[in-house]
């Protein structure tokens, strides 16, 4: 059974390459039983979506608030 650490590694690897069938199956099985890793996967997906929209010009970066001095 894949550990959370292994799941995190595969989620990260999947950003750079297609997982092989064995890796994808192990990851899918782990995600079925681990809500924390499902949340991590969802966070990755949201981050990738936001970065893509930023690159495409659909979002603009927010400026950090400045202190009034």
Residue 40 domain-assigned (yes or no)? yes
Q: Is 19 exposed, middle or buried (0-12, 13-18, 19+ CB in 10 A)?
A: middle
Specify the number of domains making up the chain: 1
Residue 14 domain-assigned (yes or no)? yes
Position 52 scores a pLDDT of 86
Residue 66 domain-assigned (yes or no)? no
Residue 69 domain-assigned (yes or no)? no
Output the furthest CA–CA distance in the chain (Å, rounded).
Answer: 58
pLDDT in tens, 8-53: 999 999 989 999 999 999 999 999 999 999 999 999 999 988 888 8
Q: Which residue has the higher pLDDT, 2 or 67?
A: 2
Q: For residue 21, give its domain range.
A: 4-55
Position 63 scores a pLDDT of 57
Residue 29 domain-assigned (yes or no)? yes
């Amino acid at each position: 059974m894949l550990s959370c650490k292994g799941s995190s590694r595969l989620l990260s690897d999947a950003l750079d390459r297609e997982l092989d069938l064995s890796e994808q199956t192990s990851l899918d099985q782990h995600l079925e039983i681990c809500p924390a890793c499902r949340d991590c996967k969802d966070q990755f997906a949201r981050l990738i979506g936001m970065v893509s929209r930023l690159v495409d010009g659909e979002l603009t970066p927010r400026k950090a608030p400045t202190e009034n001095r």
